[in-house]
């Protein structure tokens, strides 16, 4: 591959709108045909009175019901398969979800398609075979690590599979192997600056960093600017979700005016999260995706709960794939801390088990020394203790340990007096996120 | 049986003030008070002249409060008093969970309040060692 080319897959990246939609319709028909072989979809189609052969236009997809995480959680994942289990080469599971984890199965073809898609993303950002790509994301069930790893290798860059954490080692690796590209969680990028300082290393002067892929966590333009400024590099926003294979579903081009959704791989709908009707172009709504190339486990009309808007018109980069804004929020109450998806219900479940009774609680998310901090405030009621301070200390330690097991990060537990979290009206506010205020500098 | 009140309180300015205000407003007299603290919260133990009334008022005000059975031992306010009580309990394997003392009459009488798991056994041991257990009426009317 000539790596002075501007595009990784020009034949797909440069399709005009009409050609994209023609391709989408063809792939949608193939996907539906394939779905008709899966026990889950067979029943799903039947229930909806939907004949997969009746699809004549992309808009016809709206005749199918939407599907969400609950559908995935409550269904045996193998029943989605359109191939035999022997054709599956890998599974991934979403990070720290509420209740049962959701599982996605991949064929060799799926891994290949996904790797190519992510390679397209980072090639677009300027990653080339001469680069040294330090992948600072968790490897494992989480899709962030392996997704980018395969992509960077496909381009021919040298990958340093550093994984997450171990900050000093990360910096040592950067120095020793002349890392030029990092894939990193944005809040961790900020935190790492403190470690650079401690070590007396200036990332601008003492490293060869030139590109950062920021992923796994919604972040602000202000945060990106800070990372670019402090590290002296170009940072690109990466969007994805494990249900749609993982990172790289949408990615910023050098214009940085929105993230291109790869529409040859996905059919994007933006709907009003209440009425479920498609919103006007440019209006904020929930992103709904249908996979168009997945063999093993296609997903149709999957609700992401992520809120964003689309940008109208062609992009100066030459691509006609539609662009979405940064993720502006969630249509449910899920929040993300250090790259882990967390639902208040998970915290509630642990508290109930630890205390034996329901308790008023509040989750406070904050940025402390450039790092995400999660605090859980729990009201101490008369039913949960017998008047001794040791009991409370044990209770606190027990809750912390159980939460760490459930959500994989360690929140700070604070016991507060009864009534201090109550509010006079409206729905209980379970989560107060102060992180964005802190980052808007 | 004598009772004290244990109250959960956050380690914050104004909390102790609020708690004592509640008790003052209903005319509760505090005999003794101790605070066992942790970093961000603590437990206050109050020996008062009317525990049920104080308990109820604190509950109404939203405090997480407990009525806790305790043993009030009458001692001479002289060197060695506490030692003899502790030795008697220790010899019989009774663990003192928490304790505090206060003087009722200078150089004459002191009260040792102890929290133990097995109250009847502790009372028997202490009485057997020659000490008197103060009744709750007597304690509250001090």
Q: What is the pLDDT of residues B36-64, one digit of tens each?
A: 877 889 999 999 999 999 999 998 888 89
- State residue B72's pLDDT score: 94
**Interface contact B65, partner A, CB < 8 A:** yes
Fold (CATH) for A343-439: GMP Synthetase; Chain A, domain 3 (3.30.300)
Terminal-residue alpha carbon distance, chain B: 15
Query: pLDDT averaged over chain A?
Result: 90
CA distance to partner chain B, nearest, from residue A158 (Å): 48
| Contacts B10 to A, Cβ<8 Å | 415-417, 420
**Which whole number is the average pLDDT over B59-76?**
90
- State residue A422's pLDDT score: 66
- Respond yes or no on whether ipTM tops 0.90: no
B2-68 with B69-140: one CATH topology? no
A389 contacts B37? CB cut-off 8 A: yes
Q: What is the pLDDT of residues B7-26, one digit of tens each?
A: 999 888 888 899 999 999 99
A271, A278 contact by CB (below 8 A)? yes
pLDDT of residue B119 exceeding 70, the answer is yes
Residues 356..415 of A with a Cβ closer than 8 Å to B: which? 380-382, 385-389, 392-393, 414-415
Q: What are the residues facing B69 on neighbouring strands? A: B3
Query: pLDDT averaged over chain B?
Result: 90
B64 contacts A386? CB cut-off 8 A: no
B42 contacts A380? CB cut-off 8 A: no
Q: Give φ, ψ of A245 to 5 degrees.
A: 90, -40
Q: Helix or strand or coil: residue B54?
A: helix
A117/A151 Cα distance (integer angstroms): 8
A298, A287 contact by CB (below 8 A)? no
| Alpha-carbon separation of residue B18 from A430, B24, B66, B68 (angstroms) | 27, 10, 17, 21
- State residue A310's pLDDT score: 96
R_g of chain A, CA atoms, integer Å: 23
How is chain A split among helix, strand and coil, in percent rounded to 5?
A: 35, 25, 40
Structure tokens at A52: 């997969």
Half-sphere exposure of B61 (CA within 13 A, CB side): 20
* Residue spans per domain, chain A: 10-332, 343-439
B64 contacts A382? CB cut-off 8 A: yes
Which residues have C-beta within 8 Å of that of residue A198, sequence separation ≥ 6? none
Q: What are the residues facing A247 on neighbouring strands? A: A240
Q: Specify the CATH architecture of the domain B69-140.
A: 2-Layer Sandwich (3.30)
B66 contacts A387? CB cut-off 8 A: yes
For the domain A10-332, what is the CATH superfamily, name and number?
Answer: ANL, N-terminal domain (3.40.50.12780)
| Alpha-carbon separation of residue B101 from A54, A195, A284, B74 (angstroms) | 87, 51, 67, 10
* Residue spans per domain, chain B: 2-68, 69-140
Half-sphere exposure of A440 (CA within 13 A, CB side): 4
Q: Specify the CATH architecture of the domain B2-68.
A: 2-Layer Sandwich (3.30)
B36 contacts A385? CB cut-off 8 A: no
B33/B48 Cα distance (integer angstroms): 9
DSSP state string for A13-77: HT--HHHHHHHHHHHHHHHHHHHTTSHHHHHHHHHHT--GGG--SGGGGGGSPPB-HHHHHTS-G
**Interface contact A418, partner B, CB < 8 A:** yes
Mutation target to probe the B interface, by most B beta carbons within 10 A, among A387, A396, A414, A418 is A387
Out of A380, A387, A415, closest to residue B68 by CB? A387
**Which whole number is the average pLDDT over B65-83?**
89
β pairing state of A181-184 and A158-160: unpaired
What is the b/e burial string over A106-145, where b = at least 16 CB atoms within 10 angstroms of the residue's CB? bbeebbbbbbbbbbbbbbbbebbeebbbbbbbbeebbbbb
| Contacts A416 to B, Cβ<8 Å | 10, 41
Please give the helix or strand (H or E) that residue A259 lies within, else none: strand A259-261
Instruction: Give the mean pLDDT per block of 10 residues along chain A (441 residues).
Output: 83 96 98 96 95 95 93 93 98 67 94 98 98 95 95 98 92 98 90 88 97 88 88 97 96 97 98 90 94 98 94 91 89 81 81 74 87 89 81 90 88 88 61 65 33
B43, B66 contact by CB (below 8 A)? no
Q: What are the residues facing A364 on neighbouring strands? A: A375, A432
Structure tokens at A421: 């979290």
Mutation target to probe the A interface, by most A beta carbons within 10 A, among B41, B69, B117 is B41
| Contacts B41 to A, Cβ<8 Å | 380, 392, 415-416
- State residue A65's pLDDT score: 94
Nearest 5°: the CA angle A233, A236, A240 is 150
Rounded percentage of chain B residues whose pLDDT exceeds 90? 49
CA distance to partner chain A, nearest, from residue B78 (Å): 30
Q: What is the pLDDT of residues A247-261, one digit of tens each?
A: 999 999 999 999 999
């Amino acid at each position: 591959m000539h790596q002075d080319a501007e595009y990784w897959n020009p034949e797909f990246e440069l399709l005009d709108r009409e050609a994209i939609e023609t391709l989408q319709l063809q792939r949608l028909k193939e996907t539906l045909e394939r779905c008709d072989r899966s026990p889950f979809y067979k029943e799903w189609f039947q229930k909806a009175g939907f004949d997969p052969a009746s699809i004549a236009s992309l808009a016809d997809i709206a005749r199918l019901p939407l599907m969400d995480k609950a559908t995935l959680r409550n269904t045996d994942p193998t029943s989605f398969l359109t191939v035999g289990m022997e054709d599956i080469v890998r599974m991934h599971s979403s990070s720290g979800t509420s209740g049962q984890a959701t599982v996605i199965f991949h064929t060799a073809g799926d891994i290949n398609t996904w790797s190519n898609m992510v390679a397209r993303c980072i090639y677009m950002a300027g990653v080339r075979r001469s680069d040294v790509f330090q992948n600072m994301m968790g490897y494992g069930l989480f899709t962030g690590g392996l997704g980018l790893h395969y992509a960077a290798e496909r381009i021919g860059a040298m990958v340093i599979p550093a994984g997450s954490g171990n900050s000093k080692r990360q910096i040592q690796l950067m120095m020793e192997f002349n890392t030029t590209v990092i894939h990193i969680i944005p809040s961790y990028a900020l935190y790492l600056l403190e470690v650079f300082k401690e070590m007396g290393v200036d990332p601008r002067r003492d490293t060869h960093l030139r590109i950062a892929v920021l992923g796994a966590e919604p972040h602000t333009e202000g945060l990106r600017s800070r990372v670019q400024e402090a590290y002296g590099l170009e940072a690109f926003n990466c969007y994805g979700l494990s249900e749609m294979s993982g990172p790289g579903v949408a990615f910023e081009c050098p214009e940085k005016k929105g993230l291109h959704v790869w529409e040859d791989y996905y059919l994007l709908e933006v709907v009003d999260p209440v009425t479920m009707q498609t919103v006007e172009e440019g209006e904020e709504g929930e992103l709904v995706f249908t996979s168009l190339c997945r063999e093993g486990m296609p997903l149709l009309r999957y609700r992401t709960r992520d809120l964003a808007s689309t940008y109208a018109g062609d992009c100066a980069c030459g691509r006609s794939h539609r662009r979405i804004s940064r993720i502006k929020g969630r249509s449910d109450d899920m929040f993300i801390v250090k790259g882990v998806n967390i639902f208040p219900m998970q915290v509630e479940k642990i508290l109930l088990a630890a205390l034996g009774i329901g308790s008023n609680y509040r989750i406070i998310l904050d940025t402390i020394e450039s790092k995400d901090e999660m605090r859980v405030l729990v009201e101490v009621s008369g039913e949960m203790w017998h008047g001794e301070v040791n009991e409370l200390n044990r209770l606190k330690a027990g809750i912390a340990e159980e939460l760490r097991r459930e959500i994989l990060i360690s929140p700070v537990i604070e016991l507060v007096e009864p009534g201090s979290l109550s509010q006079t009206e409206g729905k209980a506010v379970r989560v107060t996120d102060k992180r964005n205020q802190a980052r808007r500098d | 049986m004598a009772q004290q009140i244990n109250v959960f309180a956050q380690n914050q300015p104004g909390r102790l003030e609020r708690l004592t205000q509640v008790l003052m407003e209903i005319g509760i007299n505090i005999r003794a008070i101790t605070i066992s603290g942790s970093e961000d919260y603590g437990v206050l133990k109050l020996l008062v002249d009317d525990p049920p009334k104080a308990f109820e008022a604190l509950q109404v005000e939203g405090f997480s409060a407990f009525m806790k059975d305790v043993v009030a031992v009458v001692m001479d306010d002289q060197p060695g008093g506490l030692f003899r009580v502790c030795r008697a309990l220790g010899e019989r394997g009774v663990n003192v969970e928490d304790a505090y003392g206060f003087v009722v009459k200078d150089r004459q009488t002191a009260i040792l309040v102890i929290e133990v798991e097995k109250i009847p056994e502790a009372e028997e041991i202490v009485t057997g060692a020659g000490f008197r257990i103060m009744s709750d009426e007597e304690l509250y009317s001090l």
